[in-house]
Amino acid sequence: MGFEDVHQRRVASFPYDIRFAHTKSSNHRSELLASDHCGCFYCCKTFSPHEIIEWIDDIGEVGQTALCP
């Protein structure tokens, strides 16, 4: 079983609200910048989206997924 299969199984076992939040965890630049605050799945801290200094994915000229500041 590959990483993607294991990951999908793991996410499927999460409660609904966590699964929903997970769908918002990438390709979210415009949504984050329109928000007052956001949070990190890894460190569990919340912060202003204006604190984000690194964006990845390089879709077009600008990355769309934030890295935790």
Predicted local confidence at residue 25, as pLDDT: 85
DSSP annotation string for 4-45: HHHHHHHHHTS-HHHHHHHHTSSS-HHHHHTSS-EE-TTT--
Q: Which residue shows structure tokens 């199984």?
A: 9
What pTM value is reported for the model? 0.70
Predicted local confidence at residue 59, as pLDDT: 65
Predicted local confidence at residue 19, as pLDDT: 87
* Cα–Cα distance, 11 to 61 (Å, whole number): 30
Per-residue pLDDT tens over the stretch 5-50: 888 888 889 899 988 888 888 889 999 999 999 998 889 999 999 9
* Cα–Cα distance, 42 to 59 (Å, whole number): 23
